[in-house]
Amino acid sequence: MRKFKEDLKKNIAVANGFEKAELVFKNARIVNVFSEEICYGDLAVNNGTIVGIGSYEGVEEIDLAGKYLVPGFIDAHMHIESTMVTPFELARAIVPTGTTTIIADPHEIVNVSGTTGLDYLLNATEHIPLNVFVMLPSSVPSTSFETNGAGPFGAADMQPYLDHPRILGLGEVMCFPAVLSADPVILDKLTLCRHKFADGHAPGLAGKPLQAYACAGIISEHESTSWLEALEKLRAGFYILVREGSAAKNLQAIISGLLEKAFPIDRFLFCTDDKHLEDIHQDGHIRWNIKQAIDLGLCPIKAIKMATINTAQAYGLKKIGALAPGYQADLVVVTDLGTMDVEQVYQHGRLVNDHSWEHQPHHEIDPRLLNSVHLQALSPEKLQLPIGEKNHVIEIVKDQIETHHLLESLPGKDGFFSPDDSFAKLCVIERHHYTGNVGVAAIKGFGICNGAIATTVAHDSHNIIVVGDNDEDILLAVNHLAEIGGGYVVIGNHQIIGAVPLSLAGLISLEPGEGVQKKVASLISSAHDLGVAPGVDPFITLSFMALPVIPSLRLTDLGLFDVDTFQLINV
């Protein structure tokens, strides 16, 4: 308290011009997200806080010579686990591209390991050059039609975390049928977090069910894939999180509709949800959302607002998201607003450069997180799929994580499904409790020939999911994942082409980010060489085929699941 008071006194003196600031950016074009204008002048920073804009002197002065200063970018919804690296390595990848704040939902690791995983992520996000806020996972497991590792994560489990300063509220409420039926379990969670933010996840929900979902106190939604869906949710009072990740790409549809109808942008925010390091390396993180929106015709300042102040205000982050006195000095130096090329990033008033990553904070890892693949021996008979005249088939939708539910004739041999050029075999194998559960289905549009791809990253229960065109390669892929403790693997012509071990909960690598990125990029290339269709991310797309809350047809370890009717299919 005493230090805060002393810093405040000093900052007021600097803001008044009585003393020099620690750091002054001279001759900057400063993007004001409140007035939506660009102001030319100096920006003064003291004790990690912006203290004034105008004409200032500093102990250190940086002449920007007309370059732009914009607030640090905020990702409104993402899963750290989907990057497959530790929080420190994630920060090393995204902060140099302008992202200084993320709002993370850790339901991936909590599904695998419960509070042990949540504690790890909270500890590992302390003292890194990235602001990390966390939502409490609301749907662990996402449904009762799958087997997760930790069992239910209920309101009683959440209670001890409510007062944590970086816990913002309830994570994406995926079990929307439970909300609509006023299930007591979800009502307990909504009641517990009634004074905090509640994120939504309700793809395709409309009409009175959407009204009921909003009535429950859920206030954001990131699953809109069209402008009309986003508009109905906007009218119901939701913040619309415009998602652009590695597999789900919804930005063009929503921003194009927003521009055509000239609606206010105040309740539109940007998020990535799930994005690979390779895509971050190629395009950047939230700056890619901003740039794409600008390329579609959105005013650059409005696009920046969607990546900064809109998110900060929605989630109650009072001192980030803007360049104004009293705000945390999270700043991005940009050479051109059209290209959004990031030149420098300052987090809490400190330049983020190579020296920022020299001293990685040490965090103890609970040994229970390092041994998470527990399989019964898998026989070829477990992979057989009986066929009839017409069969349920999952069809991939390009650049989306939704699927189509088809009824088609399948190629077969001796009454069992036999993959061909059109149809591959998809399997989900329970990996937490030695149950021996195996779900098998046909999938169309994935496109794989003479091989198999498998991973322990399978939203959200994270059992092993594998796709292939022959059982020998499928078995080899699954067994290799068990050997390495989880991760990614590509098999071709009965040989292991490559693998990325994800030893922490089967979700996260403990290796440096650059190595993980290169290995994943190589595996993705190998997967496409095996025939995986363009527009299909081999691993992220595959991982979502097991998520039973995204329309229309999914596969869990318990079998095929019809999301539209919300029940398992007897085949």
Across the chain, mean pLDDT equals 96
Cα Rg of the chain, angstroms: 24
Query: Angle at the Cα of 243 (from 238 to 244), degrees rounded to 5?
Result: 170
Q: Report the C-alpha gap between 49 and 351 in whole angstroms.
A: 13
Pair 354, 92: CB distance under 8 Å:
no
Length of the chain: 571
Q: Residues of the chain with pLDDT > 90: what percent?
A: 93
- In sign, the C-alpha dihedral spanning 383, 384, 386, 390 is positive
Pair 442, 394: CB distance under 8 Å:
yes
Residue found by looking up tokens 């740039």 in the block: 291
Higher per-residue confidence, 249 vs 571: 249
Assess whether pLDDT exceeds 70 at residue 498.
yes
Assess whether pLDDT exceeds 90 at residue 401.
no
Assess whether pLDDT exceeds 80 at residue 143.
yes
pLDDT number for residue 313: 98
For residue 539, which of 465, 432, 441 has the smallest C-alpha distance? 465
208-234 confidence digits (pLDDT tens): 999 999 999 999 999 999 999 999 999
336-377 confidence digits (pLDDT tens): 999 999 999 999 999 999 888 888 888 889 999 998 999 999
Assess whether pLDDT exceeds 80 at residue 201.
yes
Assess whether pLDDT exceeds 80 at residue 1.
no
Concatenating the DSSP letter of every residue in 334-371 gives ES-TTTT-EEEEEETTEE-SGGGGSSPPP----GGGG-
Q: Report the C-alpha gap between 456 and 489 in whole angstroms.
A: 10
pLDDT number for residue 414: 94
Residues near 88 by Cβ (< 8 Å), separated by ≥ 6? Answer: 124, 128, 357, 360, 361
Torsion of CA 550, 556, 560, 561, to 10 degrees: -40
Q: Report the C-alpha gap between 497 and 493 in whole angstroms.
A: 9
Confidence of residue 248 (pLDDT cuts 50, 70, 90): confident
- Mean pLDDT, residues 427-433 taken together: 97
pLDDT number for residue 150: 93
- Residue type (1 letter), 134: V
Pair 238, 267: CB distance under 8 Å:
yes
pLDDT number for residue 571: 60
Pair 435, 376: CB distance under 8 Å:
yes
Q: Report the C-alpha gap between 166 and 251 in whole angstroms.
A: 28
- Mean pLDDT, residues 103-127 taken together: 97
270-288 confidence digits (pLDDT tens): 999 999 898 999 999 999 9
504-558 confidence digits (pLDDT tens): 999 999 999 999 999 999 999 999 999 998 878 899 899 999 999 999 999 999 9
- Mean pLDDT, residues 224-252 taken together: 96
Give the HSE-up count for residue 66: Cα atoms under 13 Å, Cβ half-sphere: 1
For residue 88, which of 394, 488, 512, 543 has the smallest C-alpha distance? 512
Q: Mean pLDDT lowest for which of 114-123, 137-146, 351-360, 467-476?
A: 351-360
53-87 confidence digits (pLDDT tens): 999 999 999 999 999 999 999 999 999 999 999 99
For residue 445, which of 378, 365, 538 has the smallest C-alpha distance? 538
Domains, the chain, ordered by start:
72-320 (3.20.20.140), 369-568 (no CATH)
Concatenating the DSSP letter of every residue in 207-267 gives HHHHHHHHHTT--EE----SHHHHHHHHHTT-EEEEEB-SS-B-HHHHHHHHHHHT---TT
Reading the block at residue 140, the tokens are 């662990």
- Mean pLDDT, residues 166-195 taken together: 96
pLDDT number for residue 399: 80
